[in-house]
Chains A and B, each alone.
Chain A
Amino acid sequence: MNLRHRDLLGLLVAGLLIAGGAHHGGPQLSYIGPGAGFAFIGSFLTIVLSLIASLVSLLVWPFRMLWLALRRQGRFGNARVKKVIVLGLDGLDPNLTERWMAEGKLPNLQSLRDNGHYTRLRTTFPPLSPVAWSTFATGVNPAGHNIFDFLNRDLRTYAPELSSARVRNTTKFFKLFKWRIPFSRPSLELRRKSKPFWEILGKHGIGSTILRIPVTFPAMPFNGRLLSAMSTPDLRGTQGSFSWFTSDAIESSVEGGLKLPLTRTTEGWHGVLPGPDGASVDFTLQRHSPTGCKLNVADKTWQLKVGEYSPWIRLSFPARGIVRFLLTEIDPAISLYVTPVEIDPENPALPISHPAHYAIYLAKLLGSFATLGMAEDTWALNEGAIDEDAFLKQAKLIQSERESMFFNALDRTRRGVAACVFDTTDRVQHMFFRHMNAGGQNRHAEVIEDLYRDMDRIVGRTLPYVDKNTALFVLSDHGFCNFRRGINLNSWLHQNGLLALEEGRTESGEYFAGIDWSRTRAYTFGLSGVYLNLQGREAQGIVPPSEAAHLKSELLECLTNLPDDIDGQVAIKAVYDSNRIYHGPYLDAAPDLIVGYSPGYRASWSAAVGKVTTAVFEDNHKCWSGDHCVDPSAVPGVLFSNQPSRAPDLRTDPGIEDMAPTILRLLGVDPPSYMEGQALFT
């Protein structure tokens, strides 16, 4: 405050005091106390101070603008572009993309290729989304960011855990009516290490909007906005448990969900939807037409029509969740599918965004949206709770939510990074690959082609946001192939005397129930790793470290080119020693060997959950019929850009680890020395 202001304030206060003192001379009608005087002075002070603040603000405005302009100049001083747009299309396959571009079915990608740049993008060992997108974000190999698979193991118990995030709930609760209220918040940990490029940019004053890039839960603070993706749990703490109500069911577990009964009432049916920690919400259904029911839940009524999803409905457990209901059948029995209870973005129970209000802002502005890590319910389709059409409708609803968010981010981003990953491409290919070459009679034969065309439409919608100061990248983390046969390497290890079962057993249970660790030298679980039961590392390890290298090379030799027992086809293309393909501080946590399956093969469903069966090979009959958990050379991703290649002859083998340094360099920030990738464009 300057001298003039202080004088003015002094005069005002003095004047008020004099005016107050004058009362003492006259008749005192009543005592009103000092409060009124203070209130009067207080409000006057507020007005005066506001006026002063406005005046000061006006006076310094030109200097502030100048300072901000100078700072911005500093931030973007070495930048080649002002804005980077990343459109991630999870699992977009180069073979299919190139085929449909050649047939003129993907005009926007074609134009991007012709006027900019296109290349196949090398993926990670193994080519899995959490691994590859973590490398995309950090510019380091898996031993630098600690994500090697979907699963990690507890070395003391051999128990599996999600590799990307750890949520530990409190064990102490108090009961309030029907609810159990936890005493403290759950402990949360992002298991992906190193630093994503958006944190580095943030430290240089460059903001980013990061939407649904996998392995970003819990959301970490940085200079920008982020919405979490893959590994975000549902409200029950699982990776997505649906509920499937039928009027003729008894309660039972199905893969990925629960089958629950609807009980007959005088007016219709009654169901109980399970929530977190034993809490539940009751609902009723009343039939009101040949194809529809009235749903009463949370004191509101909704009209359900067979085959149509309800909007997101908010429920209180008391933690807030959202669900969609889908009436799948009405005659002869009622069948009702309910999505997993997802975290309500308007009232998030866990940190799904940074800043915390970003999810709330998006939900208020664009409507509620799916928050679960893998929201497209593949298990509901596998288990028959929904059919192909319902799965596609769900995937499209989620994609449409994502599209609104992405274009909202593009509208808001004038400088910095706007990045979004669409995973519809991955989920739909997983579930519809079996239809692709099925011929004309199959009405789902063109689902994947239509999906690629739709992604091309999104690329076309993005192009108007690209000017000469913008770098656009359209990329995928891996490609796709079919999944025809599963291989159980635990069974192979058992048959070859390297894994032992307890006496009298011919098979094990899930996650190694019934394994005799004292006679087991190697084991597998997850989608691509083989582990030695190493002394001093695993709690019941028996392989002395001095024998580890020999055992690894023995396994490598035996498993490479392993033939299918039916037709002799090579089922394993290559096996990689992790010490040769990885380097970094988290190498100790890596599997000892990474298996590169041939296209058409994958770790079997039973091997993935650490089970030993009598057969090594098994047919895959599930709807989940496309996959990418094979040798990385068979499933590279794609990279399109509007940027010209700096030196294509020098960078003939661009990899996903090159993306983080490329983005940093384009925005004028030097990549840190620990990053392994190299900038693809100057």
Chain B
Amino acid sequence: MKKTTVKLNASLCDRARKIVEKAGYSGLEEFIEHAMERDLARLETSESKEELVRKLQGLGYLK
């Protein structure tokens, strides 16, 4: 998977760096990605329920 570079406020990153491992993240990158994902989950359009269910077809544990 491709990665991209984003320039962030250095002092903000310094603040984050101090708490990331204590909070259970493996690093600053994961912390920022999680923050982005939480907002994206709210703002992005969901895939249709039919498409999501179709993708689960064949998973042995589920009917």
The count of chain A contact residues (Cβ–Cβ below 8 Å) is 59
Given contacts A195-B27, A585-B24, are A162 and B63 in contact (CB under 8 A)? no
CA distance A221 to B56 in the complex (A): 26
Cβ of A240 to closest chain B Cβ, rounded Å: 3
Given contacts A159-B49, A351-B1, are A374 and B30 in contact (CB under 8 A)? no
Q: Which partner residue on chain B sits nearest A144 by CB separation?
A: B24
**Chief secondary structure at chain A's binding surface:** loop
* Interfacial residues of chain B within 27-63, with CB under 8 A of chain A in the complex: 27, 30-31, 34, 41-42, 46-47, 49, 52-63
What B residues does A68 contact at CB under 8 A? none
Q: Scoring A residues 204 to 247 as 1 if CB is less than 8 Å from chain B, else 0, what string do you get?
A: 00000000000000101100000000000110011111100000
Asked if A570 is at the interface of the complex by the 8 Å CB criterion, the answer is: no
Which of these, B24, B25, B49, B58, contacts A379 with CB under 8 Å? B58
CA distance A131 to B61 in the complex (A): 14
Is the CB–CB distance between A584 and B24 below 8 Å? yes
Is the CB–CB distance between B46 and A154 below 8 Å? yes
* Interfacial residues of chain A within 574-599, with CB under 8 A of chain B in the complex: 583-586
Asked if A494 is at the interface of the complex by the 8 Å CB criterion, the answer is: no
* Interfacial residues of chain A within 665-682, with CB under 8 A of chain B in the complex: 672-674
Asked if B4 is at the interface of the complex by the 8 Å CB criterion, the answer is: no
Q: Which partner residue on chain B sits nearest A378 by CB separation?
A: B60
CA distance A618 to B27 in the complex (A): 46
Is the CB–CB distance between A585 and B25 below 8 Å? yes
Q: Which partner residue on chain A sits nearest B62 by CB separation?
A: A608
Q: Which partner residue on chain A sits nearest B45 by CB separation?
A: A156
CA distance A498 to B22 in the complex (A): 38
CA distance A193 to B36 in the complex (A): 14
Asked if A143 is at the interface of the complex by the 8 Å CB criterion, the answer is: yes
Is the CB–CB distance between A156 and B55 below 8 Å? no
Asked if A181 is at the interface of the complex by the 8 Å CB criterion, the answer is: no
Asked if B5 is at the interface of the complex by the 8 Å CB criterion, the answer is: no
Question: Can you list 27 A-B contacts (CB < 8 A)?
Answer: A151-B56, A154-B41, A155-B41, A156-B41, A159-B46, A160-B53, A162-B55, A162-B59, A194-B25, A194-B30, A220-B1, A234-B58, A237-B55, A238-B56, A238-B58, A239-B57, A240-B57, A241-B57, A242-B58, A257-B58, A379-B58, A584-B24, A585-B24, A585-B31, A606-B63, A609-B62, A674-B24
User: Closest 6 A-B residue pairs measured CB to CB?
Assistant: A240-B58, A378-B60, A584-B24, A195-B26, A239-B58, A238-B57
